[in-house]
Structure 1
Amino acid sequence: MASTTDSATDESISLPRKSSWKYIGPGIVVAATGVGAGDLVATLIAGSNFGYTLLWAAVIGCLVKISLAEAAGRWHLSTGRTLFDGWTDLGRWTTWFFVVYVVVWGFVYGAAAMSSSGLPLQALFPDVMGLKWWAMLTGVVGLVFVWFNKYEVFEKVMTVLVGVMFVVTVYLAIRVTPNLGDAFAGLLPVLPDEKDSILNTLGLIGGVGGTITLAAYGYWVNAKGWTNSGWMKVMRLDNRVAYVTTGIFVVAMLFVGAEMLHSSGVAIASGDKGLIQLSDILADRYGSATAKLFLIGFFATSFTSLIGVWHGVSLMFADFVERYRKDRAGASETELSGEAVAAGRREKSVPFRAYLLWLTFPPMILLFQEQPFRLVIIYGVLGAAFMPFLALTLVWLLNSSRTPREWRNGMLSNAMLVIAGLLFLVLCVKQITDQPWAEFF
């Protein structure tokens, strides 16, 4: 008689009869991780500055991310190989880029994620302790949670937090009584009559929901037990649900910005502190209960991004270390490609936990001092470079013989990925040219 564990394993890898809502999971995780406080602030400020004019740009941003996440998931399912495994086929430069990226990006992002998660807690409980201590507490809680739990528990907790985010953002959007006529008009692609409106619009499109977490989507797909092309329809439904959910979050915050801020001429700061300002405005207009509800939603948004990165990028780092070791040991291609099913084992591996520690403890140094100037510049450039890297390498991989012919890119996929790559390349160049390089040297 088969054991309970064996039965569960067989059930998790058996092919679905048809695409079904009951399988949804990794998409919720990638949506929750990708939409952080920064995305909400950017959309809020877009609504504040331009009203409903850029609603169409937020929608296009979701469509672009659907294409990127679908491509990452399709690579994992059609080839049985992980994304990092595919990158190594393209040359050693991909490995060097990834290593530098995850080390520098992880160090700075860890501090930003902890600070963002601690900020609403400090606003909710101002007399308990200061922001730095709340930030460190959220980082440690995230570390402990990811360290001791497998993907199944992680997904359930993320789903609950997404539910909180959904309820809060939709409630606020309804509460501010949006002008639906203006909102529908905002679906027409019109640029604001402002300086740098094109770059601002591209920034909004590119900033909707996710950076490296889009690359992590394929790893979460494997962790769910989806390991071959029989799960392709389920993955695509899952991915669409993810970015419809993302679209609702973003549109709701744009409504809030358009109605509460644009109509009254109120400006808020960029960054997470803008959300604290919004809570003060909500308290004045709708009472403290609404303000506290918003802060709870703010915390759910920030903390899902924290634990999502803690889990997803740690899986990618563990995969990188495994590839490096096997490559050094001369492992065969068969051995390398069979590792897409190893997500459960990676969650308990030393590299996974080592990167968890890297994301949590070294960044705490930045909470007690100003961020090192040169490090922040490098972080900004690497962060801007990752999305064109992801889009263009996916075009490369999914049009080559590395992908089974049936699952290679069609015209629509190629068009969306090329558009995404060019969009992010423009934003990358802008990010690089905006950096104060004269002060760097």
Structure 2
Amino acid sequence: MENRQSGATPEAPSGIARLRHLGPGIVVAATGVGAGDLVATLIAGSRFGYALLWAAVLGCVVKIALSEGSARYHLATGSTILAGWRTLGRWTGWYFGIYVIVWGFIYGATAMSATALPLSALFPGLPLWAWAIIAGLVGFVFVSFNRYETFETIMKVLVGTMFVIIVGLALLVSSDLPDLATGLWPSLPEGSLFYTLGLIGGVGGTVTTAAYGYWAQVKGWNGIPWLPTMRLDNATAYIVTGVFVIAMLIVGAELLYSAGIALQDSDRGLLGLSDVLSDRFGPGIASLFLVGFAATAISSLFGVWHGMSLFFADWWYQMRGGIPEGDHEGSPAFHFYLCWLTFPPMLLLFAGRPFLLVIVYGAFGALFMPFLAITLLLLLNSRQVPAEARNGWLANGVLAGSALLFIVLAAQQLWQLAA
């Protein structure tokens, strides 16, 4: 990282040497897979067995395309995705600014609460709200006082922890793995259509997929020669995500579907799974699962606290018409958004979520993923991007399909909000 800090771009590696540089992809995948994804995949397995496995896998493919496209724009143009959006009109900056403020306020409370659930179950001496505040403060202090190198190292440790525990749990409960292959053939059980679309659209992150380019940039990757390393990094990360998601679906199918056990469709459903594991395998396995649950939630919190603060800082300086010297990590705007994610949302831990704020959050959230997919299609086929880094037919096909999927999901969510 000395090269990044001194302003020089490190030389892109080749061959097997690329493996030593992997990291930003793991960070974005770990950030995108939070407690909500665990619940969505678990409930899919508990309701439909292996029938929706193909949807979870397709969700990872969609996120590979979105995060790869975002990072490719960064590397090929030397600019950021926000700068690209501004070439499509100044309205894009205002849209993102409003979205990221509302999103950060709601998500901050959600992330702290999700992280508090396993911690309060493992250490019941403190109430849930106290663990939520502690989780937010730990994220704030960690991101404030560590640079990217340390952040990436800790994220890899958390990913390793959650991966080993959840995959190990899947191996423990699985009884007939050949049935898993039947779920790879697309099918739609009765009542599963919009649930399937949500699984495809939600697994692996939403707005955080666009943060990949920022992590690649702060890592020191810059220029077209880094594209092969970025693609290997991105594919490796989402293969790990795919295996993780499949493991959680196995747990839902084998442990809950076959026994007809229903869990509530919220983060607290994971505590219900802990109770099921305790009854079947003993409290030790249940506690181990809670550790994996905690690692998943903490990695998502850390990732959002760091990545979205970088994203916001870029937006702030873009809208002001200038860029500060050096990178955005540790800038005043970076620290402002870090505070915004941590402290104001603590009010929601006590007051509940104001109705109007939830409506605005839901509307902007529904519209962001179509916005990302469509703008990537426009930017990555434009003359801003060197010819060798523009979209091919496969990338255009996947991004176009993603845009269509997210438009359907947006229409569904907006209809629900209106109702």
TM-score (norm 1): 0.92
Q: Is the 8 A contact 2:85 2:92 kept in 1?
A: yes
Instruction: Indicate how the Cα distance of structure 1 residues 178 and 58 shifts in structure 2: closer, same or farther if over 3 A, else same.
Output: farther
**1:395 aligns to what SS in structure 2?**
helix
Q: Distance in 1 between matches of 2:175 and 2:106?
A: 37
Is residue 379 of structure 2 the alignment partner of residue 397 of structure 1? yes
What residue in structure 2 maps to residue 95 of structure 1?
Answer: 93
Q: Is the 8 A contact 1:18 1:234 kept in 2?
A: no
What residue in structure 2 maps to residue 164 of structure 1?
Answer: 161
What residue in structure 2 maps to residue 21 of structure 1?
Answer: 19
Match of 1:152 among 139, 149, 152: 149
How far did 1:93 drift? 1.4
What residue in structure 1 maps to residue 267 of structure 2?
Answer: 272
Match of 2:107 among 77, 87, 109: 109
Q: Is the 8 A contact 1:45 1:270 kept in 2?
A: yes
What residue in structure 1 maps to residue 42 of structure 2?
Answer: 44
Deviations 1:23-68 (A, max 9, x none): 1100000010000000010000000000001111111111111111
Deviations 1:77-131 (A, max 9, x none): 00000010101100011111101101100000000000001110000011x2100
**2:338 aligns to what SS in structure 1?**
helix
How far did 1:133 drift? 0.6
Instruction: Indicate how the Cα distance of structure 1 residues 12 and 290 shifts in structure 2: closer, same or farther if over 3 A, else same.
Output: farther
What residue in structure 2 maps to residue 330 of structure 1?
Answer: none
Q: Is the 8 A contact 2:3 2:9 kept in 1?
A: no
Q: Distance in 2 between matches of 1:418 and 1:404?
A: 21
Q: Distance in 1 between matches of 2:217 and 2:4?
A: 18
Would you say how many aligned residue pairs link Structure 1 and Structure 2? Answer: 418
Q: Distance in 1 between matches of 2:239 and 2:12?
A: 25
**2:356 aligns to what SS in structure 1?**
helix
What residue in structure 2 maps to residue 369 of structure 1?
Answer: 351
Q: Distance in 2 between matches of 1:181 and 1:296?
A: 29
**2:184 aligns to what SS in structure 1?**
coil
Q: Is the 8 A contact 1:28 1:242 kept in 2?
A: yes
How far did 1:251 drift? 0.2
Q: Distance in 2 between matches of 1:301 and 1:104?
A: 24
Amino acid aligned to 1:146:
V
Q: Distance in 2 between matches of 1:151 and 1:42?
A: 30
Instruction: Indicate how the Cα distance of structure 1 residues 395 and 261 shifts in structure 2: closer, same or farther if over 3 A, else same.
Output: same
The 5 Å alignment of 1:40-439 reads 40-126=38-124, 128-192=125-189, 194-195=190-191, 197-326=192-321, 345-436=327-418
Q: Is the 8 A contact 1:38 1:271 kept in 2?
A: yes
**1:13 aligns to what SS in structure 2?**
coil
Instruction: Indicate how the Cα distance of structure 1 residues 11 and 285 shifts in structure 2: closer, same or farther if over 3 A, else same.
Output: farther
How far did 1:17 drift? 3.0
Q: Distance in 1 between matches of 2:289 and 2:82?
A: 38
Q: Distance in 2 between matches of 1:282 and 1:6?
A: 48
Q: Is the 8 A contact 2:42 2:252 kept in 1?
A: yes
What residue in structure 2 maps to residue 332 of structure 1?
Answer: none
What residue in structure 2 maps to residue 333 of structure 1?
Answer: none
Aligned Cα RMSD in Å?
1.6
| Sequence identity percentage | 57
Gaps of 5+ in 2: none
Q: Is the 8 A contact 2:256 2:262 kept in 1?
A: yes
Q: Distance in 1 between matches of 2:119 and 2:193?
A: 36
